[in-house]
Amino acid sequence: MPMDGTAAAPAYLRITDVTKMFGDFTALKDVSLEVNEGEFVCFLGPSGCGKTTLLRAIAGLDIQTAGKVEQAGADISALPPAERDFGIVFQSYALFPNMTVRRNVAYGLENTKMAKADIEKRVTELLELVGLPDQGDKYPAQLSGGQQQRVALARALAMSPGLLLLDEPLSALDAKVRVHLRAEIKDLQQRIGVTTIMVTHDQEEALTMADRIVVMNQGVIEQVGTPQDIYGRPATAFVADFIGTMNFVPGSVIADGRVSVGGTELTVDTEGRAPGTVVTVAIRPEDVAVHDADMSSENAFEVTVQHMEFLGSFYRAEIGSGAFADHVVQADFSVNLVRRNDLKVGGTTRVSFPPAFIRLFTGDVR
């Protein structure tokens, strides 16, 4: 499909106020989103959040109840899938079991006016692209899961679609294969520059592969941003909780830049909240800093280590003290640090919550 790159970088895919109802159930609620050309976007969220529904609406497989979908400047809202421009890969691979790998990849091409020799050339090219140059004459059942998913990828890319849709492509694979393949898919996507949307419930996958992540929950978009944004500056408590681990402690604003948590005052950007506002203070376990006893810094206080769980390269400790009443906070301590500071259950240490890493959410969101 031709691209009109004349306007100031128009979005390649624009979704406006998309709503999808299944009977009385609202699966998507007024979802709007823009995806730029060549971008790798992940839809991330728990099961039932609407991410697959949104993908299927974009593909035309389950057309939205209301709202607009535009691709490359054209309104495709009501088009059947066959009249849209996309390639798709499913978790189940959906390879035709009675055809060889080559026939699977060639399936779409054979439907065009393309000459036979050209088709064969293109298939060879695609199989090389996905790293399976000599598996062409095997049947899907003779390949491993990872190999089958590469074939599915080659088949989806065969028609050089403007948009590549990946529906949980790695979820059926073993952990090791998954890690390997996600790097490969990302690399492939960058080389051919195809605009890609991937649906996943695996945050690690989204964080490692995406240019931008769309976090969804209960049919709405919670946040759109780069992996660093999403992880470091979660916009909502849901995002903060869903991605990585987050401590939530209730508190209230005392003054501009000051928050009280269980009697202890913390310095933190209150983002203009009025004094007296009930807030939830959030900090990630790895952002809790341990200090030597004599060192003083902002938001530092004495805590007791109540529990330690060994997780290989680090310990996840539960710390608490009079500092924030009976709230227990998790903190990650490296093995090295534990050894150096001789940390153990029942012992005390000094920690700080660096202001830059604290997030505030209005209300008690736990």
Partner 1 sequence: MSGAATAAAAAPGARIKPRMGRDDWIMRGAMVAIGLFLVLGVLLPLYTMMSKSLEDSDGAFVGLANYVEYFSTPALFYSIYNSLWISVLSTVIVLVTAFIYGYALTRTCMPFKGFFRMVTLVPLLTPSLLGGISLVYWFGNQGVAKELLLGESIYGPIGIVIGSSYWVFPHALMIVITALAVTDARLYEAAEALRASKVRTFFTVTLPGAKYGLISAAFVIFTLVFTDFGVPKVIGGSYNMLATDIYKQVIGQQNFQMGAVVSVVLLIPAVLAFAVDRLVQRKQVALLSARAVPLVPTPEPVRDWSMFAFCSVVAAIIICMLGMAQYAALVTFWPYNLELSLNNYNFDVMDGGGWEAYFNSIRMSLYTAAAGTLIIFFGAYLMEKGRGFQGGRTAFHMAAIVPLAVPGMVLGLSYIFFFNSPHNPLNGIYGTMLILVLVTVVHFYTVSHLTAVTALKQMDAEFESVSASLKAPFYRTFLRVTVPVCMPAILDISMYLFLNAMTTVSAVVFLYSSDTTLASVAVLNMDDAGDIAPAAAMAMMIAYTCAGARLLHALLTRGLARTTQAWRRR
Whole-number minimum distance, CB 137 to partner 1, in Å?
Answer: 12
b/e burial code for range 87-100 (CB count within 10 A of at least 16 → b): bbbbbebebeeeeb
What number of chain residues touch partner 1 (CB under 8 A)? 50
Determine, following the binding rule CB under 8 A, whether residue 227 of this chain makes contact with partner 1: no
Residue linked to tokens 């960058």: 190
Whole-number minimum distance, CB 1 to partner 1, in Å?
Answer: 13
The rounded distance, in Å, linking the Cα atoms of 92 and 265 is 53
Span near partner 1 by CB under 8 A; candidates 62-70, 253-261, 316-324, 331-339: 62-70
The rounded distance, in Å, linking the Cα atoms of 228 and 213 is 10
In the chain, DSSP assigns E strands to: 13-22, 25-35, 40-44, 66-71, 74-75, 87-90, 163-167, 195-200, 212-217, 220-225, 247-255, 258-261, 264-267, 278-283, 289-291, 300-310, 314-320, 329-334, 348-352, 359-362
User: What backbone phi and psi angles, to 5 degrees, belong to 155?
Assistant: -65, -40
Q: Residue 44: beta bridge partners?
A: 200, 215
Determine, following the binding rule CB under 8 A, whether residue 94 of this chain makes contact with partner 1: yes
Determine, following the binding rule CB under 8 A, whether residue 171 of this chain makes contact with partner 1: no
Determine, following the binding rule CB under 8 A, whether residue 187 of this chain makes contact with partner 1: no
Contacts with partner 1, 107-146, as mask; x by CB under 8 A: xx--xx--------------------------xxxx----
Determine, following the binding rule CB under 8 A, whether residue 159 of this chain makes contact with partner 1: yes
Among 10, 48, 65, 328, binds partner 1 (CB under 8 A): 65
Span near partner 1 by CB under 8 A; candidates 35-43, 71-79, 187-195, 265-273: 71-79
Given a contact cutoff of 8 angstroms between Cβ atoms, the answer to whether 259 and 265 are in contact is yes
Q: Which is nearer to partner 1, 2 or 25 (CB)?
A: 25
Interface residue list for partner 1 (CB under 8 A): 16-19, 21, 24, 26, 29-30, 59-61, 63-68, 77-84, 86-88, 90, 92-94, 96-99, 107-108, 111-112, 139-142, 155-156, 158-159, 161
